[in-house]
Amino acid sequence: MNLKELNSKSAEEILDWSSKEYSGRIALASSFGLEDMVLIDIISKLPQPISIFTLDTGRLHEETYTLIDRVRSRYKLEIVTYFPDSSSVEKLLREKGFLSFRESLENRKECCRIRKVDPLNRALKELSAWVTGLRKDQNVTRNDIQAVEEDKDHPPLVKINPLKDWASGDIEKYILKNNVPTNPLHKQNYPSIGCAPCTRSVEPGEDPRSGRWWWENPEHKECGLHQK
């Protein structure tokens, strides 16, 4: 099967192909949002395993930590956790305080780099491919993603996006049908959940990503894990 053919395949087919193509060298990077919970449920049913890792920034919601333990208990899957470098975090807080990320785009990207991007780079070192929950309709920065694509930020890695064509309604239907556990914050109007200081609930009719870094323009709303 060539890469163009994969664009028309289901998420289950894409993940099954990927688990075999990159056997032992592929992992899901999970923040335990709705998309990631769908992927975890699908992965748990694959004949060949895909590893799962998460980035603990040190500023996650308590509800997120509770969900991680629920995932461990229900699916019997190991969740490998990566933390930011403690000396880098200490230096940032000493020099700029606890909320520097709200002062400028540069400061926010610095915080994301220390807490997310650098730990991600460590996690990806042993991999050939990684799975994400990216969808085209999530943001203007994501409207051209492919099922399988070169990760230009982490060459020669490949990025797998099984849910690229799913709408939010598709996610909700899968979760209900398969009784997938989710973060309770979603029912409090948090469609996208990241670090607690950088995430807020959204009003009806607002873009789902508007609750992330709400003080920034839409075209800037990436933490650096998925650059253009």
Active site residues: 223
Q: Is the peptide bond preceding residue 156 cis, with omega within 30 degrees of 0?
A: yes
Side-chain-facing half-sphere of 149: CA atoms under 13 Å:
16
The residue among 77, 51, 74, 62 whose CA lies nearest residue 179 is 74
Q: Specify the long-range contacts of residues 217-224, CB closer than 8 Å, at least 24 apart.
A: 218/139, 218/140, 219/140, 219/141, 220/105, 221/139, 221/141, 222/139, 222/141, 223/109, 223/112, 223/116, 223/117, 223/194, 224/109, 224/112, 224/113, 224/116, 224/117
Quick count: other Cβ atoms within 10 Å of Cβ 86? Answer: 9
